[in-house]
Chain A
């Protein structure tokens, strides 16, 4: 009885860790490149998040199944090969079912291969734990990453175009409203600044707690 309780508690802990306490982008500072690149609007951010979740789950499953066969020298190469294979599949799926998103995201989908999050989770978690924990960890990290991306993207899209997910919220000045677009938010400047300020905010919140 108590054994399964401990297990369930551990599963919950792993899941929630990825969402806040060990949020890959905000706390572990991994995977910055796609965070800056795709968050100009919410739709690409969501698509990228889903791709990362898919690749994370698949690669964690495979690595966890293989964990007893891996020897130190070839470890990284095996991880990279696994991740590259699944990213290729994700890219093909995206091209087939979401062609416009595939074009918007462009070369950032294959860049998931070198996304530090996936390799780090394979190394830190999947190669040392069983199948269920690995899957839960992948889901937690993936969802945490996606949520962060979406929050960042909402801020940038709202300020740059007055819309979120292409639904107009603020009436633009050129359409007769009051809101003048902050064009800079859609460009690299906006990306760096928003992420920097968000990290600062997270630091304030976590420092207050402790």
Chain B
């Protein structure tokens, strides 16, 4: 046990090194996370300049039945007006989890668009959920229950989303995630009075 002094000294030095590096870099890391989220949402809500986090996260029931807390961001324009809302939603896709960021218009009546933050779907098939021709169908769709169809017109904006051929499960997963989270969050926000039928 005489050599244990080396272990203790080394642990102390390394611990110090890690602590110093962490202290120096963690503001930058936090900023990176904020930037990423803002960048994703600004694509969907171009007038948004600032994002305010709602004080209380909204609790929804995920597709697997678990209770999840969702953080909602209010997007503000440069003039200080609300231009929309955004939040992240996760669900299981074909291969792994799919993480989406969903943006809605200021009345929570229609979807401003979706973006895929993280997914591990089959390249060339399920991966196409990231492409514009699939995601574009969500832009302007009503904020409520959405349905997946296998045949239909992609250009028509309504509550029917046309699946990607060869990737039905991935397409279905995205539609379900959006449907489930948007309907529940809309109901909860109405209950809390944040949005209402008489929108300010």
Q: Check: B150 CB closer than 8 A to any chain A CB.
A: no
Number of interface residues of B (CB under 8 A): 23
Name B18's closest neighbour in chain A (CB-CB).
A88
By a CB distance below 8 angstroms, the chain A residues around B165 are none
Contact status A95-B25, CB under 8 Å? yes
Given contacts A95-B29, A96-B32, contact A183 B124 (CB under 8 A): yes
How far does the alpha carbon of A89 sit from the alpha carbon of B10 in the complex, in Å?
Answer: 15
Do the beta carbons of A92 and B6 come within 8 Å of each other? no
Query: Which residues from B are CB-within-8-Å of A77?
Result: 7
Q: Is A81 an interface residue (CB 8 A)?
A: yes
Name which residue of chain B comes closest to A84, CB basis: B14
A73 to B125, CA, bound (A): 52
* Centre residue among B17, B26, B29, B33 by max chain A CB count within 10 A: B29
How far does the Cβ of B145 sit from chain A's closest Cβ, in whole Å?
Answer: 32
B10 partner residues in chain A, CB cutoff 8 A? 66, 78, 81-82
Nearest-neighbour CB distance to chain B for A83, whole angstroms, equals 10
Q: Scan A90-107; emit 1 where CB is below 8 A from any B CB, else 0.
A: 001101110100010000
Query: Given A89-B21, A92-B21, A96-B25, are A81 and B14 neighbors across the interface (CB < 8 Å)?
Result: yes
Q: Inside 8 A of B122's CB, which chain A residues have their CB?
A: 183, 187
Is residue B11 within 8 Å, beta carbon to beta carbon, of the partner chain? yes
Given contacts A85-B18, A92-B21, contact A69 B124 (CB under 8 A): no
CB-defined interface of B1-42 with A at 8 Å, one 1/0 digit per residue?
001101100110010011001100110110011001000000
Measured in the bound complex, the distance between the Cα atoms of B124 and A181 in whole Å is 8
List chain A residues, Cβ under 8 A from B29: 92, 95-96, 99
Residue A74 is within 8 A (CB to CB) of chain B in the complex: yes
Q: Which residues from chain A sit less than 8 Å from chain B, CB to CB?
A: 66, 69-71, 73-74, 77-78, 81-82, 85, 88-89, 92-93, 95-97, 99, 103, 160-161, 181, 183, 186-187
4 closest Cβ pairs, A-B complex? A85-B14, A183-B124, A99-B32, A186-B123
12 contacts between A and B (CB under 8 A): A69-B3, A70-B3, A70-B6, A89-B17, A92-B25, A93-B21, A99-B32, A99-B33, A103-B118, A183-B125, A186-B124, A187-B122
